[in-house]
Chain A
Amino acid sequence: MSAVKKDPSFIWRIATLTGICGIFFTILFACLGLRQFVERKEYREKEERQTKRRILQPAPRGEIHDRDGRLLVGNQSRHSAVIYLEQIRKEFRSQYLEDVRDIRALREPIRKGMTHAQVKEHLGLFDRHHEDESSVTLTYNKYLKVVFENSVVARTSVSSSDLQWEARLKVVRRYLEQVNKIIGRSETISRKKFERHFNRKLLLPFTLVPKLTAEEYARLLDQLPLDSPVQIFTDSTRFYPYHSAASHTLGYVVFSEVDDEAEEIEGHNLKTFRLKGKQGKTGLELSFNDQLDGTPGGEIWRVDPMGFQFELEKKQLPTFGQSMQTSLDIDLQMLAEEQITHKKAAVVALDVKTGEVLALASKPDYNLNDLTPYISTKVYRRIESEGGWLPRATQGLYPPGSTFKILTTIAAMRQGQVHNETDFECKGVELIGINREEFRCHNPRGHLAIKIQRALALSCNTYFYHYGVRTGIDHISTEARRFGLHTSTGIELPHETRRMLIPDKEWKKVRIGEPWRPGDTANSAIGQGYILVTPLQMACFTASVARGETLTKPTILRVPDTQRSNINHGGEPIGLSKEQTQQIFQGMEKAVQFGTAQLCKIPGIRIAAKTGTAQVKDSDRNSPTFGQKLTLAWFIGFAPVEKPSIAIAICVEGTDPNDNYQGGTTAAPIARNLFWTYFAKKSQQQLTQTP
């Protein structure tokens, strides 16, 4: 031993070995340090990605109320029977083992070299048959494959994967059977659906029976054991207590995935499972989607190597979306819709002062409850065939007919063409232009000597042909633009049309390639020809006239009481003298007293109105009346004249050439009922507010 100690080469070798070991260990520890300290974050992330899963839960959406706080859109619970797969893993395994035992027992007597007849004797008839060039494969009892070569058994095989799926499905189907027995349904599940869920959403419960009724829900609560893997899962759907009321305005929601970008929920790098949320598709649901949508909640789970839940690491509850209050008065809205049921029509009622939309009705429409939780093809097609998807109040474009005469009057007065005492002789026809083209009045015998007030009250066409041409299209179109009729109103609803049209000489030259003729001006003066506006625009125009301004910015949101007196619509004074304004108002009031709008008369309330009956060619190629002339019944009006508070615009479309729709007889009675309800409610509110 001492000799070994003294051997210098040995000591040198030991030292060298120690040095080498030392270097290796230093490298090892350095690498370990690198992994543990420097690259810690990277490995931590990798580990988390591998072992953690995130579940995002949608938040309940905020509610929508009318101006008096009544619920227009809410949430209602929807129950479904689900199974938590991680709780039945053991059953999956034992079922699989049982199936393997069965299939082995089945396979046991099959030997190489057996003929088909001998195999048949043991296994009976085969389920499937597959043949290729050298062999024939027969499948028995679903999964046992027997391969025959030269008419004798060459080998047998079983697909382990198939067996595993079948075992899982058997277990799930057993639980489904239990649920079916309790609630009396006969639901089934397909392997495809189950496999898809298992592969993609293993962490989420698998739905056995969707949309449970209250009775089924109660039965399951009563009869399912508390610790059963089958449980009742509750989520929410939109609920519309007034069914189809204001459907276009409120809009509907569609399924969407929970927003992954939500910063409040950590774990962006983790594999994420999302429960279905909702997203606004149309109407207010779309415009105010961000506000109505709450903050989603989330869970972070540690999972086992198979991907089943192991331990809940973090949980964040979803928070409710913000609710909103609209300016709609649901009583007025429902009345407006009731008045135009079975018609193609639009009704708009505005608060003159604030521009708040009190009613925004379009028919045909749809029952919002039919569109939740999803729109079936059948429902979609029905609404499509009825023409119910179009919100006519904001997207329907129509020539305004005689209601446009108010604007022609304003333009003519501002150009000094029409005075209070201007006399005109209506002979029932007006000759326009160099060619002396005949333009007829709706009264063939003529209105004889007529002034502006009577011309408005009786809607004399020749009066407005005459003074419209004298005023000129340039001034009329400029005036229309000043009132904002050439552009969308900017209401907080999506997809408001921008295709409205106020024609002028330049437009006709560019678009049609023809010069402007005096006849075009005459047509424009009475709201015919190329002019196209929406009912909402005409309601805004009416409110503007009532207020003596050029613009009204409509809003679907309730204006807080503190801001009601400071509304700036962004317009300017019309630029008429008080007398001129009175002439127009009196003309409109006389239309109600003895003129075309008599059917909207309400004793005790001074209403100013103008009716119109326009003609259009049906441009719908799918319509049986394509290319034929249809009538449009218009009404615009406001009340009370002394202090206007409500403005109404109505447009009813004729659907058949034989429809005898007229502004005075079709639209005016609808307006009467709206005015009556509005003022009755207002006086009732005043009574209740009076101490």
Chain B
Amino acid sequence: MLFLAWALLPIPLKKAVRNGFHEFQVPSWEALSWGRDLQNFWAGRANRHSELISQGRDLARLNGAFRLQVMENESLRQELQRMEALLDLPPRPRYRYEVARVTHRQIGTWWHEMVVRKGRDDGITEGNGVVYAGGVVGKVQKVYEGTSIVRLVTSPGFRMPATLHGQTQPLFIQGLQHGSIGKPTGRVRNVPISSNVTPENPGYLVSTSLGQVFPNGLHIGKVEHLEQSSNGLFREGTVQFPSELYNLNEVAILVPLPSTTKTALKRN
């Protein structure tokens, strides 16, 4: 009876109910997330002073190393800009990184999603790329006022262009169906026939800026074996995604900067 009533409900009403249900759930997820953060805070406070001093020292060293790297990066970036200006290359897409806490995860057979604590109010739009320190996480699937749903790269309904590290020809990655237990895997297709990978010498898949969602070179996963595709034109294989994708607490959403969204396609 309930199913029949739901089936007969007009679509706009269904949509409103679904959104309302999400918004209704959000406070509980957020509360849980804040609770976890608080738990971590108090766990941190329980550390002994000597441990904290030692960790602080390690952190200071790391910070020092990173500061140097930032300076080096800045210098390289300027050099790159100079070269691009010389060669009159079109501007590459630039992004603002909106850091967001993960409040909830839904890792099922049919979809792999996470809810993050940033939404429309923070300038997030559907289709924005989501990354973390280890590479690509996925794309923003749905945006609400203060939260967003991110579809993970491992999700069966997810597809994105990529390249093999060191190559330029675009191929694509698609998530595969699997449960929440076990390693996340996907399928890489349209790999150039000349590409060769082995378990000893795996191919690393990285993002490409051609799709205008991600910058170049972000790690996605690795492929250890390639076989010929059914049409004989390409090779394809199984991608192994990093397993920490299911345990992330914090991600960054790539919000394209306005000037780059208008970048015209450079036609070949």
Q: Which residues of B contact A227 (CB under 8 A)?
A: 157
A60 beta carbon closer than 8 Å to chain B: yes
Nearest CB to that of A227 among chain B residues? B157
Q: Which of B169, B170, B234, B264 contacts A221 (CB 8 A)?
A: B170
**Which candidate, A166-174, A312-320, A345-353, A554-562, is the interface stretch facing chain B?**
A312-320
- CA–CA, A59 and B267, complex, Å: 29
Q: Which residues of A sit under 8 angstroms from B208, Cβ to Cβ?
A: 218
* B127 in the interface (beta carbon within 8 A): yes
Residue of B nearest to A223 (CB): B127
**Which of A215, A223, A297 contacts B265 (CB under 8 A)?**
A215
- Tell me, yes or no, whether B197 is within 8 Å of chain A by CB: no
Residues of the B chain whose Cβ atoms lie less than 8 Å from the Cβ of A223? 127, 211, 213
Nearest A residue to B266 via CB reads: A215
Taken together as a complex, chains A and B put the C-alpha atoms of A184 and B212 apart, in Å, by 13
Q: B233 contacts which of A60, A214, A221, A226 (Cβ < 8 Å)?
A: A60
CB proximity of B243 to chain A, nearest CB, Å: 24
> 1/0 per position for A281-323, CB-CB distance to B under 8 A?
0000000000000100100000000000000000001111000
How far, in Å, is B18 (CB) from chain A's closest CB?
Answer: 18
Is the Cβ of A236 less than 8 Å from the Cβ of B233? yes
Q: B264 — which chain A residues lie within 8 A by C-beta? A: 184
Q: Is B245 an interface residue (CB 8 A)?
A: no
Which B residues are CB-close (under 8 A) to A57? 231
- B232 contacts A218, CB within 8 Å? no
B225 within 8 A of A: no
Tell whether B160 is near chain A: CB-to-CB under 8 Å: yes
Q: Is B159 an interface residue (CB 8 A)?
A: yes
| A 323-357 to B, binary, CB cutoff 8 A, 1 in contact else 0 | 00000000000000000000000000000000000
B160 touching A183 by the CB < 8 A rule? no
Given contacts A222-B211, A294-B232, contact A214 B170 (CB under 8 A): yes
Whether B211 pairs with A214 at a CB distance below 8 angstroms is no
A184 CA / B267 CA spacing, docked (Å): 10
How close is B266's CB to chain A, nearest CB, in angstroms?
7
- Nearest chain A CB to B224 CB, angstrom units: 23
- Tell me if B29 is interfacial: C-beta within 8 Å of chain A: no
Q: Are A214 and B232 within 8 A (Cβ)? A: no
B210 at the binding interface (Cβ < 8 Å)? yes
- A317 in contact with B210 given A184-B264, A221-B160 (CB within 8 Å): no
Q: Is A160 an interface residue (CB 8 A)?
A: no
Complex Cα spacing A222 to B266, Å: 17
Contact of A213 with B by CB under 8 A: yes
Interface size on B, residues (CB 8 A): 27
Please tell me if B268 contacts chain A, counting CB pairs below 8 Å: yes
Interface check A678, CB cutoff 8 A: no
Nearest Cβ distance between residue B144 and chain A, in whole angstroms?
20
* Residues of B with C-beta under 8 A to A219: 210-212, 265
Cα distance A226–B186 in the bound complex, in angstroms: 14
A235–B268 CA distance with the chains assembled, in angstroms = 19
Chain A minimum-CB-distance residue to B228: A320
Q: Are B159 and A214 in contact (CB under 8 A)?
A: no
Q: Which of A180-237 contact B (CB under 8 A)?
A: 183-184, 213-219, 221-223, 226-227, 234-236
Mask for B144-183, Cβ within 8 A of A = 1, else 0? 0000000000000111110000001110101000000000
Chain A residues lying within 8 Å of B268, measured Cβ to Cβ, are 213-215
Say whether chain B's binding surface is mostly helix, strand, loop, or mixed.
Answer: loop
Chain B residue nearest in CB terms to A217: B170
With A214-B268, A215-B210, A221-B172: A317-B159 Cβ-Cβ less than 8 Å: no
B216-268: which have CB < 8 Å to A? 230-234, 264-268
Query: Measured between alpha carbons, how far is A59 from B233 in the docked complex, in Å?
Result: 9
Bound-complex Cα distance A214 to B267 (A): 9
Question: Chain A CB within 10 Å — which of B169, B174, B211 has the most?
Answer: B211
Answer whether residue A77 sits at the interface, using C-beta atoms and an 8 A cutoff. yes
Chain A residues 39 to 67 lying within 8 A of chain B, measured CB to CB, are 57, 59-60
A683–B150 Cα distance when bound, in Å, is 63
- For the complex, is A619 an interface residue (Cβ under 8 Å from B)? no
Evaluate whether A221 and B232 lie within 8 angstroms (CB atoms) in the complex, with A213-B267, A214-B268, A215-B265 already known: no
- A320 to B235 Cα, complex, angstroms: 13
Residues of A within 8 A of B158 (CB): 226
> B190 in the interface, Cβ–Cβ < 8 Å?
yes
| B231 and A221 contacting across the interface, CB-CB below 8 Å | no
Contact A60 B212 (CB under 8 A): no
Contacts of B267 on A, CB cut-off 8 Å?
Answer: 213
Is A75 an interface residue when CB atoms closer than 8 A count as contact? yes
Give chain A nearest CB distance to B106 CB in angstroms: 18
Chain A residues with CB below 8 A from B210, complex form: 214-215, 217-219
Report whether B170 and A234 are in contact in the complex, using a CB–CB cutoff of 8 Å: no
Q: Return B114 CB to nearest CB of chain A, in Å.
A: 19
Contact check, B159 vs A221: say whether CB atoms are below 8 A apart. Answer: yes
Contacts of A319 in B (CB 8 A): 232
Cβ-defined contact, A59 with B266, below 8 A: no
Measured CB to CB, the nearest residue on chain A to B168 is: A214
Tell me the smallest distance from the CB of A312 to a CB of chain B, in Å.
13
List residues of chain A with CB within 8 A of the CB of B211. 218-219, 221-223
Q: A214-B170, A221-B160 are in contact. Are A75 and B265 (CB under 8 A)?
A: no
Q: Contacting A234 at CB < 8 Å: which of B127, B168, B233?
A: B233
Candidates B160, B213, B230, B234; contact of A317 at CB < 8 Å: B230
Chain A residue at smallest Cβ distance from B265: A184
B residues in contact with A77, CB < 8 Å: 190, 233-234
Chain B, 200-219, contact with A by CB distance < 8 Å: what is the 0/1 string? 00000000101111000000
Complex-state Cα separation, A317 to B231, whole angstroms: 7
A60 close to B232 (CB less than 8 A): yes
B residues near A, CB below 8 A?
127, 157-161, 168-170, 172, 174, 190, 208, 210-213, 230-234, 264-268
Known: A214-B210, A234-B190. 9 other contacts (CB 8 A): A57-B231, A213-B268, A215-B210, A217-B210, A219-B210, A219-B265, A223-B213, A294-B232, A317-B230
